Amino acid sequence: MGEGTFGQVLECWDRERKEMVAIKIVRGMKKYRDAAMIEVEMLQQLGKHDNGGNRCVQIRNWFDYRNHICIVFEKLGPSLYDFLRKNNYRSFPIDLVREIGRQLLDCVAFMHDLRLIHTDLKPENILLTSSEYVKVPDYKVSSRSPKDGSYYKRIPKSSAIKVIDFGSTTYDRLNQTYVVSTRHYRAPEVILGLGWTYTCDIWSVGCILVELCSGEALFQTHENLEHLAMMEKVLGPLPQHMLKRVDRQAEKYVRRGRLDWPEGASSRDSIKAVSKLARLPNIIMQHVDHSAGDLINLLQGLLRYDPEVRLTAREALRHPFFTRDHLRR
């Protein structure tokens, strides 16, 4: 069902419970075994508190087989990333983004209440609970080639999702500075070495929601300076007080109190990639017809540079994007 640096996930038949399950078979090396045992502990901790078990993937069991830790999970459907990819990176309808966003923030709020930080939220780690989908006509097809079957786009039948991959989940400790998150979803305070906490998950949620609306990752980059420049293009200048406190590693990205851009760029292509990005409201308005105003306002709260004033998961859940009566409009 999936593969990664950790090992493989296989679809299996549980003969005792008579159900399909997903078993993560972890590589035999010590560092992967250790990480797997932390994941088991986190999953058990989450499972104990997750009433109804519909936020995080449920662990059924685990065992050690020929030096491989094997974790047995309930079987879920495709990841949001797999779904987008098979759909030729076509965006999700806004009402689906809202339902997914609500569940994702509910899961993050639940984890944060338990003093846990996921640190690796991304579309690959959010699974639809069902693989079923419907095909609907795609009205935005004109600019795309129809050879990939693209007169239709897929919409999941159910919006139900669960979060997976608790291998990097950690308890909150003051001022952790090691690098976390997968690049595209990494918060500015992590890149700048300013120390991070719960709100690094909130930044990732902001990036994920934009991606679901547009179909493409917001910050497609592999370099720190280019990444920060992309953030400034989409969200405006980084605050002075953050640039002043950067650590030794990140000093090279700052000159005279501002980002060393475009002077420090590694290539012309890099400058081009940054300059072709639009401001956040424009990105959203290109893809969303209704509720764009509410969504933009929510995203501006989730993607605040200063982690101290970034929305918490509970605050985000109270935002009008989620609470307004959308059916009555």
Q: Does 123 bind ligand ATP (CB under 6 A)?
A: no
Any catalytic annotation for residue 120? yes
Contacts of 255 (CB under 8 A, 6+ apart): 263, 264
Quote the least distance from Cβ 75 to ligand ATP, whole Å.
5
Quote the least distance from Cβ 185 to ligand ATP, whole Å.
12
Q: Which helix (H) or strand (E) holds 190?
A: helix 188-191
Of 59 and 225, nearer to ligand ATP (C-beta) is: 59
Q: Are residues 320 and 98 in contact, defined by beta-carbon separation less than 8 angstroms?
A: no
Sign of CA dihedral 280, 282, 283, 289: positive
Q: Which stretch binds ligand ATP (CB under 6 A): 83-91, 163-171, 238-246, 260-268?
A: 163-171
The single residue among 40, 70, 76, 230 that binds ligand ATP, judged by CB under 6 A, is 76
**Of 227, 215, 202, 217, which Cα lies nearest the Cα of 286?**
215
The single residue among 5, 142, 145, 175 that binds ligand ATP, judged by CB under 6 A, is 5
Of 1 and 243, nearer to ligand ATP (C-beta) is: 1
The single residue among 91, 125, 224, 291 that binds ligand ATP, judged by CB under 6 A, is 125
Which positions from 38 through 57 interact with ligand ATP, judged by CB under 6 A? Answer: 57
Q: Other CB atoms closer than 10 Å to residue 256's CB: what's the count?
A: 6
Q: Does 83 bind ligand ATP (CB under 6 A)?
A: no
Question: Count of residues for the chain?
Answer: 329
Q: Which stretch binds ligand ATP (CB under 6 A): 4-12, 105-113, 224-232, 279-287?
A: 4-12
Quote the least distance from Cβ 169 to ligand ATP, whole Å.
11
**Beta-strand pair 2-4/258-259:** unpaired
The CA distance from 212 to 214, in Å, is: 6
The catalytically annotated residue of 50, 106, 120, 294 is: 120
Q: Are residues 79 and 124 in contact, defined by beta-carbon separation less than 8 angstroms?
A: yes
Q: Other CB atoms closer than 10 Å to residue 283's CB: what's the count?
A: 19
Q: Are residues 74 and 60 in contact, defined by beta-carbon separation less than 8 angstroms?
A: yes
Residues that bind ligand ATP (CB under 6 A): 1-2, 4-6, 9, 22, 24, 57, 73-76, 79, 124-125, 127, 164-165, 167
- Active-site residue numbers? 120
